[in-house]
Amino acid sequence: MNYPDVKGREEILKVHARNKPLAPEVELAVLAKRTPGFTGADLENVLNEAAILAARANKKTIGMTELEEAITRVQMGPEKRSRVITESDKRITAYHEAGHAIVALKLEGCDPVHEVSIVPRGMAAGYTMYLPKEDMMHVTKNKLLDRIAMALGGRVAEQLKFDDVSTGAYNDLQRSSEIAHKMVTEYGMSDSVGPIFLGGQEEVFIAKDWGHQRNYSESLAAKVDDEVRKILDEQFERAKAAISSDMAALDRLANVLIEYERISGEEFAAILSGEDPSAVMGKPKKKAPAKRAPKAPKPEPDQGGMPNDAVPTGSEA
């Protein structure tokens, strides 16, 4: 699929914004930059969703608050505040998402953090959202490696803080493995395997080998597996080094998430730079009484802390 570039997205937004009462502060050019990887249908959904949100709030115009929430809904689904969350789960999710965000901040190839949240959306317990500085047609090897390290940051943070890991990294591990596998078999980014395409014929059902029929030997397959594992292990260690170098920052960010549940990219940067979290976030949030979980809750599948990690880009990675 060909995704519209920033100018194309702005033109699409203009079409769908007709007859919609946008607030004076809304700039479609800004929204276009905010929505890389969105299709025309996605952009239409954003404006329609924002209109519904404004109507529910009895507002006469659609503001940036509604548009930001609409963008997140299109990417991640609506918030699920009715879901019962134990204090233990909340703490794990906070450290998990803090791990993603800290690695993203410390590695040059990662996109800037736009928002970090531990409010459940869709199948995710929380998410870290990134905002690319510009549309990119090509993704370099170093950027892909940084993305893998960032994706593994949640698992690393859990391990460092709790000396244990949860199922919350399921989606992170899946995405990291897919990127590493494509680097070796499709992008020719492995020195050991070499500049060769080994993608094979795609299967209807994803069973093994990431949905491809293997068209190469067992010995080469073993080398591919070794290279994928090597990439993942190396990026895990990079994420570990990035987080362990400042555990106080991890604690600080996780505690802010536990208190406020959601922070913007600007607030995240200020807190990590050493500013007083209470000053950055304003008055302390009044905590609601903790909800008690049912005695025998029905388990829900946990897609983990990085469902998009919330960036739908035009890259296959």
Residues catalogued as catalytic: 97
Determine the Cα–Cα distance for residues 200 and 14; give it in Å rounded to an integer: 42
Question: What tokens were used for 7?
Answer: 């100018």
Query: What is the chain written as a DSSP string?
Result: -PPP-HHHHHHHHHHHHTT--B-TT--HHHHHHH-TT--HHHHHHHHHHHHHHHHHTT-SSB-HHHHHHHHHHHHH--B-TTS---HHHHHHHHHHHHHHHHHHHH-TTSPPEEEEE-S-BTTBS-EEEE--SS--S---HHHHHHHHHHHHHHHHHHHHHHSS--GGGHHHHHHHHHHHHHHHHTS---TTT-S-----EEPSS--SGGGEE--S-HHHHHHHHHHHHHHHHHHHHHHHHHHHTTHHHHHHHHHHHHHHSEEEHHHHHHHHTT--HHHHH-SPPPPPPPPPPPSSPPP-----S-SSTT---SS--
* Cα-to-chain-centroid distance, residue 143: 15
Q: Given strand 127-130, what is the order of strands in its sheet?
A: 127-130, 113-117, 262-264
Rg (CA), the chain: 21
